[in-house]
Amino acid sequence: MPSFSWEDQFMTSVASFAEAQMPEATSRSLLQEYIRLSHSTPLPPILDFENNAKLLDGSPFLEPDEQIYKLMHAIFQPLLSKFKLEGAENFAKVIPYLATTGVTIVENHLSLFDATVTSFMLEREQAFFEYARKMFFVTGRLVFTSDFTRVAGRAFRTMLVASPRDMAENESIRRELTRLNLRSYKEVKERQKRGEALVLYPEGTRSRNSAMLPFHGALYSYLDGTVVLPVAVEGPEKILHSDSFRFGFTEGAMRIGEPVYVGPANAAPQGIRSLEVERFSKDTRKQDAMDYFGHAVAAMLPHAMRGHYTR
């Protein structure tokens, strides 16, 4: 079986696991298993537009592969040992509203493995474990067309979408991608009503230089009528740099901000402040609301990482 171009560099991650006090034989075995699964994990059928047109009306939701979940946990448990969670009390505040208004987590996007970091940081807290396992991530389908990230994408509950870049670069299948996004949005709202928290990366793509990109106004509808929890992560970009296939061992943090209900104050859950979007100009309302949360995330990051949201 031909090797992937990234395999040799990926195996040099052994040195980082040694820093994290993992025996070399263990880390080699884990990395080799990731490579093996990268060769054998198939493209989700719903994304095979050419050969499975009849599946276009199926669900874009993917349940996790438990074998892959256990592998990713074994890989990232040592890599996250120097990461800290801040603002846990804010996550606790939204638990009562998971099955009422619904909860949307908005987060800056730094790494191909941000979902892994977010999930495992919350699962590390015993009080949050069951809620973290029920979270789901809106994930660009390009994650699953890449031989490097397809495995990681199957570790968690995922709602497949086409990103703005994906839509622009794949005009020949634009109709299929549009249908995918419409179905995804409908099912997102249904799952939120059932008490499943949505994790959204409103920049639409990961930052290549750690500085925040603008949040997309078109994603406002995901937030409307829900309790929104802003989350800032620092460090995932050092676990895996944007131009690298080698894991690093580093300090980092996941910071959870104050929850905000998006909608009228009289509809806000008790104890949760509201963002009354009517205060914004009708012409720019969606973008203004997204920028509000962009600034909320940026405020929890070092100044150099705030990018578009530097005040």
Which letter, b or e, does each residue of 283-310 get, where b requires 16 or more Cβ atoms within 10 Å of its Cβ?
eeebbbbbbbbbbbbbebbeeebbbebe
The pTM is what?
0.94
15 is a domain residue: no
272 is a domain residue: yes
Average pLDDT in the 106-110 region?
Answer: 97
pLDDT score of 295 more than 80: yes
Average pLDDT in the 132-148 region?
Answer: 93
Residue that is written with structure tokens 């969606």 in the block: 286
User: What pLDDT score does 51 carry?
Assistant: 65
Identify the H or E element spanning 145. Answer: helix 142-145
48 is a domain residue: yes
Quick: pLDDT tens for 174-203: 888 888 899 999 999 999 999 999 999 999
User: What pLDDT score does 201 carry?
Assistant: 96
What percent helix, strand, coil does the chain show, rounded to 5? 50, 15, 35
Measured between alpha carbons, how far is 192 from 98 in angstroms, rounded to an integer?
7
Give the residue with greater pLDDT, 211 vs 50: 211
251 is a domain residue: yes
Average pLDDT in the 32-46 region?
Answer: 93
25 is a domain residue: no
Hey, what's the torsion of the CAs at 208, 209, 214, 218, to 10 degrees? 10
How far is CA 231 from each of CA 54, 257, 280, 296, rounded to the nearest angstrom? 38, 6, 23, 8
Average pLDDT in the 223-245 region?
Answer: 95
CATH of the domain at 286: 3.40.1130.10
Q: Do the beta carbons of residue 129 and residue 123 sit within 8 Å? A: yes
Confidence of residue 164 (pLDDT cuts 50, 70, 90): confident
28 is a domain residue: no
Domain enclosing residue 196, as ranges = 43-309
User: What pLDDT score does 251 carry?
Assistant: 97
Dump the DSSP string for 241-265. -TT--------EEEEE---EEES-G
Quick: pLDDT tens for 68-88: 999 999 999 999 999 999 999
8 is a domain residue: no
Confidence of residue 276 (pLDDT cuts 50, 70, 90): very high
pLDDT score of 166 more than 90: no
Confidence of residue 291 (pLDDT cuts 50, 70, 90): very high
26 is a domain residue: no
**What is the tally of structural domains in the chain?**
1
pLDDT score of 55 more than 60: no
Measured between alpha carbons, how far is 285 from 268 in angstroms, rounded to an integer?
19
